[in-house]
């Protein structure tokens, strides 16, 4: 029984950590946010060159067969650096989904492009009414002689503005909240009938709203089995939730450490505010909440690795805890930073905003608490 990283994992951690330390300070990050598409294309190429874009893919698919541990390692560091490049949306979610349900042709066509950094994909699965239920799909897929025709609206497509291809969930059969009847389609972003509105989110990332009007795709665009997409979507959602939680855990660590450091330098009433016992105990609580979320993260990662039946339950425990404790840690950090915590000069407020966004992605605290309860019966 050990929680040590392997040699390769340690190298990976050091590599990402060093990059964040040396090349990704908060000012750099701000510049990336302001660039076309909301991230730095050159940095993305660096990620490709450093081999980070291939980590989660099997060797067969051109990757190194990394698992949940490797993803956790990278995401924690990305969290500390507030990385805005579309790693989660393109590599983990879209790439992960392709690897899971794509056929050989689809994989060979696209995964290589993701891995070498030349292609960006985005999953368009959320709809305005669906909130956290990925089976709640009103976009329709009508099959025809030439393939399919898609109609509907998609919401909060992460980094949808810079994607060249969407993976669109659409309903081939059934009512809008049926678990059966949903299919996935690979849709070029420049297809006729797609309108996209690209917009920034408060955390400096980007998302897009899509409307699809009679968008035509060939039969070969079908990804996975017709009408059976929900399990794959929910499976990738669980994996993405763990990755995002890892990002949040990285931020929580940074937040409690930076708060401790700030409190030791900030003087009021002639002493560093770290001397005040009430603040000390609250910083201990921040530390504790980080350790708890870190433990739940390891638990979820280990159960994924072991293929345990209770993986989803562990994911919900983790995502719920991060929602509550992550936000609490960030709130406390701002309070202890005082006025400085309210400024964009410090990154502490940006951590809060990113944690809040993460809390809405793939289910907020209440959603996961309810799912935890239903999985406990």
Q: Report in angstroms how near the CB of residue 281 gets to a second copy at its nearest.
A: 5
- To other proteins, the closest distance from the beta carbon of 250 in angstroms equals 16
CA atoms within a 13 Å half-sphere pointing along the CA-CB vector of 200 = 15
Q: 11-50: which residues touch other proteins (CB under 8 A)?
A: none
Reduced 3-state DSSP string for 205-218: CEEEEEEEEEEEEE
Residue 277 makes contact with a second copy by CB under 8 A: yes
Contact between 129 and other proteins per CB under 8 A: yes
Residue choice 137, 207, 240, 246 for contact with other proteins (CB under 8 A):
207
Contacts of residues 32-38 at CB distance under 8 Å and 24 or more positions apart, as own/partner, are 32/84, 32/85, 33/84, 33/200, 33/204, 36/162, 37/159, 37/161, 37/162, 37/206, 38/84, 38/159, 38/161, 38/162, 38/200, 38/204, 38/205, 38/206
User: Looking only at residues 215 through 254 of this chain, which bind other proteins when binding is defined by CB under 8 A?
Assistant: none
The yes or no reply on residue 292 touching other proteins (CB under 8 A) is: yes
Contact letters for other proteins, residues 64-93 (x by CB under 8 A): -----x------------------------
Q: Which of 9, 17, 28, 235 binds other proteins (CB under 8 A)?
A: 9
How far is the CA of 40 from the CAs of 30, 47, 49, 165, in angstroms? 10, 11, 14, 19
58 binding a second copy? (CB under 8 A): no
Compute how many residues bind a second copy; rule: CB under 8 A: 5
CA distance 259 to 271: 16
Q: Closest CB to other proteins among 109 and 291?
A: 291
71 close to 17: Cβ distance less than 8 angstroms: no
How near is the Cβ of 269 to a second copy at its closest, in Å? 12
8-state DSSP, 308 = -
Please count the residues of this chain forming the interface with other proteins, following the rule CB under 8 A.
Answer: 86
- The reply to whether 278 sits near a second copy by the rule CB under 8 A is yes
- C-beta of 283 vs 355, nearer to a second copy: 283
- Residue 100 contact, options a second copy, other proteins, none, Cβ 5-8 Å cut-off depending on partner type: none
DSSP three-state, residue 154: strand
114/352 with CB nearer other proteins: 352
The three state secondary structure string of 88-149 is HHHHHHHHHHHHHHCCHHHHHHHHHHHHCCCCCEEEECCCCCCCCCCCCCCCEEEECCCEEE
Judged by CB under 8 A, does residue 272 bind a second copy?
A: no
The answer to whether 356 and 204 are in contact (CB under 8 A) is no
3-state secondary structure of 266: coil
Q: Shortest approach of a second copy to residue 285 CB, angstroms?
A: 11
Query: Which residues in 331-360 contact other proteins (CB under 8 A)?
Result: 331, 334-335, 338-339, 341-345, 349-350, 352-353, 356-357, 360
Residue of 244, 128, 239, 141 lying closest to 185 (CA atoms): 141
Decide: is 328 part of the binding site for a second copy (CB under 8 A): no
Q: Among 274, 311, 312, 315, which residue sits at the site for other proteins (rule: CB under 8 A)?
A: 274
Name the site residues for a second copy (rule: CB under 8 A): 276-278, 280-281
């Amino acid at each position: 029984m050990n929680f040590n990283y392997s040699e390769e994992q340690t190298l990976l951690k050091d590599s990402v950590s060093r990059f964040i330390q040396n090349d990704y300070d908060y000012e750099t990050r701000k510049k990336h946010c302001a660039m076309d598409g909301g991230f730095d294309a050159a940095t993305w190429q660096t990620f490709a060159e450093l081999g980070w874009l291939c980590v989660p893919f099997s060797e067969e698919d051109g990757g190194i067969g990394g698992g949940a541990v490797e993803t956790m390692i990278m995401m924690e560091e990305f969290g500390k650096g507030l990385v805005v490049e579309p790693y989660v949306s393109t590599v983990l979610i879209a790439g992960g989904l392709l690897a899971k349900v794509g056929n050989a042709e689809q994989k060979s066509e696209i995964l290589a492009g993701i891995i070498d950094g030349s292609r960006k994909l985005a999953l368009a699965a959320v709809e305005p009414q669906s909130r956290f239920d990925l089976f709640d799909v009103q976009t329709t897929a009508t099959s025809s002689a030439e393939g399919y025709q898609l109609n509907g609206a998609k919401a909060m497509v992460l980094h949808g503005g810079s994607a060249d291809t969407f993976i669109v969930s659409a309903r081939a059969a059934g009512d809008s909240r049926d678990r059966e009847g949903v299919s996935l389609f690979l849709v070029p972003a420049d297809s006729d009938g797609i309108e996209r509105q690209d917009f920034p989110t408060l955390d400096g990332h980007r998302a897009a709203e899509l409307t699809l009007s009679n968008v035509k795709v060939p039969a070969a665009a079908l990804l996975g089995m017709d009408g059976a997409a929900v399990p794959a979507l929910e499976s990738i959602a669980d994996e993405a939730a763990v990755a995002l939680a890892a990002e949040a855990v990285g931020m929580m660590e940074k937040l409690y450490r930076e708060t401790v450091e700030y409190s030791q330098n900030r003087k009021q009433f002639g002493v560093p505010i770290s001397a005040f016992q009430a603040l000390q105990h609250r910083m201990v609580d921040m530390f504790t909440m980080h350790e708890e979320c870190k433990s739940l993260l390891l638990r979820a990662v280990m159960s994924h690795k072991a293929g345990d039946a209770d993986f989803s339950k562990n994911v919900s425990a983790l995502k719920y805890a991060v929602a509550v404790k992550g936000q609490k840690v960030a709130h406390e950090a701002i309070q202890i930073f005082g006025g400085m915590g309210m400024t964009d000069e410090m990154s502490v407020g940006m951590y809060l905003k990113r944690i809040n966004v993460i809390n809405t992605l793939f289910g907020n605290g209440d959603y996961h608490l309810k799912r935890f309860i239903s999985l406990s019966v």
